[in-house]
Amino acid sequence: FSSFDFCQDKEEKRPSENLGQVLFGERIASSPYKFTFKKQETCKKVCTRSYDPGNSADKSKLAFLKKGMQLNYQHHWIIDNMPVTWCYDVEDGQKYCNPGFPIGCFVTPDGRVKDACVINSEFNKKNTFYLFNHVDITIMYHSGKDENWPGARLNDVYNLLYCFSPISYKHTDENNLSCEGPPMEIPGEFTNKLNLIYTYSVTFEEKNNIKWASRWDYILESMPHTNIQWFSIMNSLVIVLFLSGMVAMIILRTLHKDIARYNQIDSSEDAQEEFGWKLVHGDVFRPPRKGMLLSVFLGQGTQIFIMTFITLFLACLGFLSPANRGALMTCAVVLWVLLGTPAGYVSARMYKTFRGEKWKTNVLLTALLCPGIVFADFFIMNLILWVKGSSAAIPFGTLVAILAMWFGISVPLTFVGAYFGFKEKPIEHPVRTNQIPRQIPEQSFFTKPLPGIIMGGILPFGCIFIQLFFILNSIWSHQMYYMFGFLFLVFIILLITCSEATVLLCYFHLCAEDYHWWWRSFLTSSFTAVYLFIYAVHYFFSKLQITGTASTILYFGYTMIMVLIFFLFTG
């Protein structure tokens, strides 16, 4: 905010942020717009900024402000923990409320009206920037008179943009402000001296039909996405029903037939030759190649799976609503740190089942491999933010705190889990493994590993891609994400789809006498992460207007963290 040369608060205060806010780069500072409850203000001056074309510092400040308008930068204001929203009418007489409002807008040299300039027909001059230097703020409050308690509570802060506010005014005399007249134009070519006067008006309205507990509802109701959500859920349920039908059919009909046929053969005198999956029974539990890595991935995936489940469950119950800023991220990080024990246990038990010997390496890799990759990526992203002077850069103290949580809590808990995992007996196999590995016959195209894995990822991705759009919007376009009920449903559907798609494809390639199923069962559903990455690339080029190398590196750096976590989770 301070780099845009807006008005600054002389006695700037910063509230202490929680871990989630710090990681997401949410920095809150006090503003120079001062209100007194129930005191109306009309066209009150905040400050003046003057720009001289002869001064190089002024020139660069103004150029930066123009760039912000071109890229549609938004103000995000908070009053009493409520976001200041810009509400305007959309079709069908509905109101849409956006948490945040633009700093200004731009008309291109060929006369195309961009972004917020469509709200006023006066914004029509070619190659001109229009700065929203005035805001009309309506604060609605709930009085305590009816319920016999003293005082009042703020309900919501509307920044009613239906009547074109925030507004652009060209104030000619700063001692006699009227907040009327033509808009504040900043020409594309900066040649004359320019004075920008920032002003605001405040009105208070009593609104007793809204209870304090439901004061966020107007923002959520105005977001017209619930129909799409139901469509997405239906779409996912159809995929799940289709898969469940297939799996049920195979398990009931085919396996039932197979088993009946095998029993018949056993009872008959002349045992015919075996066929199908029965042929590979002596090789199916042969430990996989790279069993160490697979067991580490399974441990890490279990940790992420339990973390996601608990976080989404708490979010569904309303503990992690948007009103608790940063609560979602804080909860996820703390849970991940505390869930080292299941990761260590699963990894150790699987590794023991694979008849592995190097248990120390296994425990260390489980505790350090994937978190290490995430932390290294995060650290590089933070360095870029720090070099660029971004407010989203994480302070050194927080990085040390995260490292302390990882090495002081998560790693020891992983060791505890691994201790119990290695003490347990390995998982008993129902059949003995042959001494000599069986030769795998020539496979058809569809039962080869790669085509099977690529096909396996499509179905789970089909279940989540609509939710993915909203999640990416909430991360990159500062939209609020509050549909945790839908997300939890989709999470459950994703689990079922991943499991069933894997069971199905596993059965097909066992029937084709290919007994290398360990890695394939992990990679079939975790290939969904590759589709997630492809979708993120598509989103980057189609929805975001990101310029500059640093921003692109940041986008893909954070995307890679999401993809890795999703890879482990689905696998």
pLDDT in 10s for each residue of the chain, 571 residues:
888 899 999 888 888 888 988 888 888 899 999 888 889 999 999 999 999 988 999 999 999 999 999 988 889 888 888 888 888 777 777 777 788 889 999 999 998 998 888 888 888 899 999 999 999 888 888 777 666 667 777 766 654 322 335 788 888 888 888 888 889 999 988 888 999 999 999 988 888 777 777 777 777 776 656 667 777 788 788 888 888 888 888 777 777 777 777 777 666 555 556 667 778 888 889 999 999 999 999 999 999 999 999 999 999 998 888 778 889 999 999 999 999 999 999 999 999 999 988 999 999 999 999 999 999 999 999 999 999 888 889 999 999 999 999 999 999 999 999 999 999 988 888 888 888 888 888 888 888 889 989 988 988 898 888 889 888 988 887 777 777 888 898 899 899 889 988 988 888 888 888 889 999 999 999 999 999 999 999 999 998 888 888 889 999 999 999 999 999 999 9
Domain boundary (378, 407, 432) is at: 432
Count how many Cα atoms sit within 13 Å of the Cα of residue 116 in the half-sphere of its side chain. Answer: 28
Say whether both 256 and 128 belong to one domain.
Answer: no
Say whether both 233 and 323 belong to one domain.
Answer: no
| 25 domain-assigned | no
Question: What does the alpha-carbon distance between residue 389 and residue 383 come to, in Å, rounded to a whole number?
Answer: 10
pLDDT for residue 158: 53
Question: What does the alpha-carbon distance between residue 71 and residue 23 come to, in Å, rounded to a whole number?
Answer: 24
Say whether both 106 and 151 belong to one domain.
Answer: yes
Say whether both 387 and 487 belong to one domain.
Answer: no
pTM of the model: 0.87
Q: List 82's β-bridge partners, or say none.
A: 79
Say whether both 420 and 294 belong to one domain.
Answer: yes
Question: What does the alpha-carbon distance between residue 219 and residue 211 come to, in Å, rounded to a whole number?
Answer: 14
| 137 domain-assigned | yes
Say whether both 203 and 84 belong to one domain.
Answer: yes
Domain boundary (432, 455, 478) is at: 432
Say whether both 147 and 293 belong to one domain.
Answer: no
Chain Cα centroid distance, residue 141: 33
The backbone region for 111, taken as left when phi is positive above 0, alpha when psi lies in -120 to 50, beta otherwise, is left
User: How deeply is 236 buried, as exposed, middle or buried, from its count of CB atoms within 10 A (0-12, 13-18, 19+)?
Assistant: buried
Residue 556 and residue 291 in contact, taking contact as beta carbons nearer than 8 Å:
no
| 60 domain-assigned | yes
Say whether both 397 and 470 belong to one domain.
Answer: no
| 26 domain-assigned | no
Say whether both 476 and 502 belong to one domain.
Answer: yes
Say whether both 192 and 232 belong to one domain.
Answer: no
| 69 domain-assigned | yes
| 92 domain-assigned | yes
| 15 domain-assigned | no
Give residue 99's domain range.
33-222
| 8 domain-assigned | no
Domain boundary (432, 465, 491) is at: 432
Say whether both 348 and 470 belong to one domain.
Answer: no
Say whether both 398 and 451 belong to one domain.
Answer: no
Q: Please state the domain count of the chain.
A: 3
Question: What does the alpha-carbon distance between residue 343 and residue 417 come to, in Å, rounded to a whole number?
Answer: 7
